[in-house]
Amino acid sequence: MSNASPKTSLKGRIGALLGILLMALSLRAAVVSVPPLLARIQVDIEFTEFTIGLLATLAPIVFACFGLLTPRLIRSFGLEKTLITAIALAVVGQVARVFMPEVYSFLALSIIALAGYGMGNVVLPPLVKKYFPDRIGLVTSGYVTMLAVGTWMAPQFSVPLANASDWKISIGSWALLSMIVLVPWIIQLVADRNVDRPDQPVQAVGAAQPIAKINPWKSKVAWGLAIFLAGNSAQTYVYFTWLPPYLQDRGLSELSAGNMLALFAILGLPVSLLVPLWVPRLKNPIIAVLIFTACWVSGHLGIYLSPTEGTVLWVCLAGLGQGTFAIALLMMNLRSRTTYGSGVLSGFAQGLGYAGAGIVPLLFGVVQKSTGSWGPAFAMLGACVLVMLIGAIIINPSRTIEDSVEGSEKAGRLERIG
């Protein structure tokens, strides 16, 4: 637990908690609200197979780019200002894209929206460490749970909203949720007049100390978490992209296939509640990783070998496997000692992790089409499991990203930013 976090008033912590939870709720709306409405969108905007594939890969690619960029922004402007900028980008991108007349302008505005959410992905773990260093597991459980709820909520309600209005209002309406997120953070920024810049003294330390720069490229912890997140997220993105079309190809109706995707998404909820409360108590977190990996593998095999018999069971198992994602988010704080270290680790792991994961859904489709079989494509999921396990082995020992800074005294000078 870092003692670098300043003493924050109860009112300030309540505002920060509200802001963290609302931001987590909104993070996936721009990603998962569009696919259920693609058939309607195509009436007004001409999507081809190529641009549909491009849309599917935009989220991990943009998350990767802004994952690597965001730690620099945090260091320069602080956590709260970076988050407010992220929310503003998300709102502008989501609202503006519904007015675009053709596909590439729609995709360009989608990139702006996703850039905002990519920055939000990175900022949330260090915000938890800054405001709740004594409640990291509990608050992480809350925000990962809200992330799971948001991932389920957008695809579940996009079609009913479109039925009640049209597709533009449906996908644009999620920007309202992001606008609400602005309220507690603007209040927090105005109220907290004593927000320190990275080069300023920290009250908890009592003396001005420069922050030692962390190079995540030289950190085993950072590489391990990036590899772990890549293997996990690749499986998740394959399911979000290919589970409905695969099940329809195997004989399920469009409605049933869509319900299976919603079931997969909502099963991130129970594991999101469990993981941050359970895993910090384990001496070896890899034990939890192996349990959730068994769920992933069982789900993959069941869905491939028996897609129309026991489908709910197989999807439930794969859905519970998403506990590995909650572990990855938790490790961003458990494998760092300071707010700054958490921000660097979050940005590096999510940047490289999403970059690695982003190409897999595209390759999944290419392999399936080129071979005419789903078997080789599903074999790629097995490779993703192995990658994830390699990352889990690397991050299992109790060490932090700050350990990569030369000299323990220098590492001890790392302080919070925000």
- As a whole number of Å, the CA-based R_g of the chain is 21
Question: What is the C-alpha separation between 280 and 335, in angstroms, rounded?
Answer: 11
C-alpha span between 344 and 220 (Å, rounded): 13
Token output for 33: 């609200």
| pLDDT at residue number 34 | 84
Confidence at residue 64, expressed as pLDDT on a 0 to 100 scale: 87
pLDDT band, residue 90 (cuts 50/70/90): very high
CB-CB contact of 25 with 150 (8 Å) = yes
The pLDDT, as a whole number, for residue 212 is 63
Q: Evaluate if residue 28 carries a pLDDT over 90.
A: no
Phi, psi of 207 (to 5 degrees): -155, 150
Tokens of 372: 């005419």
How far apart are the C-alpha atoms of 77 and 79, rounded to whole Å?
7
Q: What is the mean pLDDT of residues 279-292?
A: 94
* pLDDT per residue as tens digits for the range 5-18: 444 566 668 888 98
Q: 313-332 as b/e, with b when 16 or more CB fall inside 10 Å?
A: ebbbbbbbbbbbbbbbbbbb
Q: What percent of the chain has pLDDT over 70?
A: 89
Complete domains list, the chain, with CATH: 10-412 (1.20.1250.20)
The residue count for the chain: 418
Please check the confidence at residue 194 and state whether its pLDDT lies above 80.
no
CB-CB contact of 239 with 261 (8 Å): yes
pLDDT above 90: percentage of residues in the chain? 40
| Mean pLDDT for the chain overall | 84
